[in-house]
Amino acid sequence: MHMLRSIVIAAVFAAAGVVPAYAASAVKCDDASISALQTKVDAMTDQAKKTAATKQVNMAKDAMKAHKMKTCVTHMENAEKGMTKM
């Protein structure tokens, strides 16, 4: 029983350590991040992907102006995914 409790406690601490690392790498909805994303999109050569990514960036900009940060981040993530999707 003591061993099981130790394993559970270790798992909880391990999971707690993962959360801050993920949060630090999360997409931020701000002018600098959107500008950097726009630069990447502008450099794309696949026109279909570029059109879709541009649409997502524009929706992210609109969401940021409306102070809808979660929506903004979602659109930025969608643009990133669309850039790499095969």
Decide if 57 is inside a domain: yes
Decide if 7 is inside a domain: no
pLDDT less than 50: residues of the chain: 12, 15-16, 18-25, 86
pLDDT of residue 18: 45
Decide if 49 is inside a domain: yes
Angle separating helix axes 69-84 and 47-65, nearest 10 degrees:
170
Decide if 80 is inside a domain: yes
Cα–Cα distance between 63 and 74 in angstroms, integer? 10
Q: To the nearest 10°, the Cα dihedral for 42, 22, 85, 36?
A: 0
Decide if 24 is inside a domain: no
pLDDT of residue 23: 44
Quote the number of domains for the chain: 1
pTM: 0.68
Decide if 18 is inside a domain: no
pLDDT of residue 49: 94
Cβ atoms < 10 Å from Cβ of 72? 24
Full domain range(s) for residue 76? 31-84
